[in-house]
Amino acid sequence: MKLSRLLAPTLKETPAEAEIISHQLLLRAGMIRKLASGIYTWLPLGLRVLHKVENIIRQAMDAAGAQEILMPGVQPGDLWKESGRWEHYGRELLRFKDRHDHEYCLAPTHEEVITDLVRKEIRSYRDMPLNLYQIQTKFRDEVRPRFGIMRAREFLMKDAYSFDPDEESSAESYRIMRKAYEEIFDRLGLKYSVVEADSGSIGGSFSHEFMVLAGAGEDAIVSCPACGYSANVEKAEVKLADESAAEPIMETEQVATPDAHTIEEVAKFLSVKPHETAKTMIYLADGKPVAAVVRGDREVNEIKLKNRLGAAELELAPASVIAEVTGGPMGFSGPQNLEIPVYADQELFGIPALVVGANQKDAHLKGLNIKRDAPKAVRADLRDITETDPCPRCGATLTFARGIEVGHIFRLGTKYSQSMGATFLDADGESKPIIMGCYGIGVSRIVAAAIEQSYDENGIIFPMSMAPVSVAVLAMQAKGEVLEAAQKLHDELWAAGVDTVIDDRDVRPGFKFKDNDLSGIPLRLVVGKKGLANGQVELKRRSGGDIEMIDLDKAVLTIS
């Protein structure tokens, strides 16, 4: 592989649109390019990294007895209506019609399609356990695509689905997947934590997330060094002894306008149509903007506020809360006031008053009547775990960290098999719903997550398992015996099965070193005139350590 022929357009400057280090370095190293918001092209070096991740996952899944299939990315709306998710999934589901006016969507996940497959193919308990997986492109119309491939709209996922005849067998399928995931993330050289993803319930958890520990992570995770309890803070809750204890952390802001008394009217102000999602800005009294997401879906009414400046999660109001304060499920039918319950850490964010405005220019809401004496105990008996809470399991002191969700495993039970009629005949000839599990890995997100964990001021430091190539041979002159020797070394390495790139470009050595550091290739061999005179080349590891001089004729042996 010749760098002179390779499309690897490196950038000297950090692109302004890239907030986090992985996004910056992937752009700078010429591994990805943006097509549209949250939609990226993988260039040759980046794609090689993606393929390495894919292959590690594939090997582990195959070894765990899962079978690879490939399902369509375009899915009929009718299937989603069967499961009920056409209504409930919300705006992340990109829907469209074909020329015959039939409804379709771009797959954000594949439970419906796989359930449709197995309901036709699985007949008997003898057909199970079965585990099917794919590595496939997903589309989610994320409210706020950001951080490059980390939170993209189009991204690569490995999704597996297990099918079992009973709970015991399903639990075993889950255990096998959990173990396979640990193998995968170990092989990828990631520092990660397995956390409980549903409420910090004691006893068998039905869902675990695999979190790569990194400051740029969008999730907050707690762990207990004493008993091993670990959970996603968003999902982990502690029970409060009494209602009054809830007061300091939550507060309800009522938002109403003189001219807007119905949900429709307020929604119009917020430029959100019923069943749509709107981004809006809420400004703190000191002028700091906080991004807010107001969702008008029937099922998922939530308001998410994020502190844009600190990236800390400010709050999350679950659907039930809004339903409670509005006095019924939000159907956008009757005249109701839109109430925004704000869970805020007063001390941290100090919110004396809120002004709500639409996110369009000149569309700020005026004349808002903001009441501050709204219902106290919106969610009186539960609240999220905070820094000062003891472990909900053993009472010891918890530690907090930020994490990037790279994998998520669920036990689905019969959620889909029941609604979609995926049944089998058990040993007694009785018809029963299949018990399912699903297991996702963010293949493309892993590439970003790995970089967040491993870089320095000069660029990416890939572990060998993920590097675009293992070795870069840098020719210090783009002609004559230096180039010839470098080319020969490169060819011999390929022949020995070592993936290698040669920097044969006619540019200054400094340029070559810089680009090489940027792309994170683990081993660098420098072929220069001086070394060659002694029959030697320089070997340097991207991860650090001194330069070693090695004999040219032993270089292939040393490396392979």
Residues that bind ligand ATP (CB under 6 A): 109, 140, 142, 151-152, 155, 157, 405-408, 440, 442, 444-445
Q: Which does 157 bind (CB under 5 to 8 A by kind): ligand ATP, Mg ion, none?
A: ligand ATP
Closest to Mg ion by CB, 232 vs 477, is 232
| Shortest spacing between CB 442 and ligand ATP, in angstroms | 2
Stretch that binds Mg ion, among 96-104, 404-412, 481-489, 514-522 (CB under 5 A): 404-412
| Shortest spacing between CB 408 and ligand ATP, in angstroms | 3
Radius of gyration, alpha carbons of the chain: 27
Dump the DSSP string for 134-175. Answer: EEEEEE---SS-BTTTTB-SEEEEEEEEEEESSHHHHHHHHH
- CB 397: neighbour CB atoms within 10 A? 12
| Shortest spacing between CB 438 and ligand ATP, in angstroms | 9
Q: What backbone phi and psi angles, to 5 degrees, belong to 245?
A: -65, -20
Closest to Mg ion by CB, 53 vs 93, is 93
Q: Which does 165 bind (CB under 5 to 8 A by kind): ligand ATP, Mg ion, none?
A: none
Closest to ligand ATP by CB, 173 vs 516, is 173
Residue nearest to ligand ATP (CB): 442
Q: Which does 151 bind (CB under 5 to 8 A by kind): Mg ion, ligand ATP, none?
A: ligand ATP
490 interacts with Mg ion by CB under 5 A = no
Sign of the C-alpha dihedral computed for residues 133, 135, 138 and 144 taken in this order: positive
138 interacts with Mg ion by CB under 5 A = no
Strand 130-139 versus strand 67-68 pairing type: parallel
Residue nearest to Mg ion (CB): 408
Chain Cα centroid distance, residue 383: 25
Going by C-alpha positions, the residue among 522, 474, 530, 462 that lies closest to residue 498 is 522
Closest to ligand ATP by CB, 411 vs 445, is 445
| Shortest spacing between CB 440 and Mg ion, in angstroms | 7
Closest to ligand ATP by CB, 383 vs 408, is 408
Spatial distance between the Cα atoms of 405 and 306, rounded to a whole number of angstroms: 18
Contacts of residue 131, defined as CB under 8 A and 6 or more positions apart, other chains included, come to: 64, 65, 66, 67, 160, 161, 162, 163, 173, 176, 177
Closest to ligand ATP by CB, 152 vs 220, is 152
Q: Which does 531 bind (CB under 5 to 8 A by kind): ligand ATP, Mg ion, none?
A: none
Q: Which does 185 bind (CB under 5 to 8 A by kind): Mg ion, ligand ATP, none?
A: none
Closest to ligand ATP by CB, 189 vs 390, is 189
Spatial distance between the Cα atoms of 7 and 1, rounded to a whole number of angstroms: 11
Q: Give buried/exposed letters for 296-317 (b at 16+ CB in 10 A, else e).
A: bbbbbbbbbbbbeeeeebbbbb
Closest to Mg ion by CB, 405 vs 492, is 405
408 interacts with Mg ion by CB under 5 A = yes
Q: Which does 208 bind (CB under 5 to 8 A by kind): ligand ATP, Mg ion, none?
A: none
| Shortest spacing between CB 76 and Mg ion, in angstroms | 23
| HSE, side-chain direction, 13 A CA sphere, residue 94 | 13
The amino acid that residue 66 corresponds to is: A
Q: Look at the chain and count its residues.
A: 560
Question: Are residues 469 and 521 in contact, defined by beta-carbon separation less than 8 angstroms?
Answer: yes
**Contact positions toward Mg ion, by CB under 5 A?**
405, 408
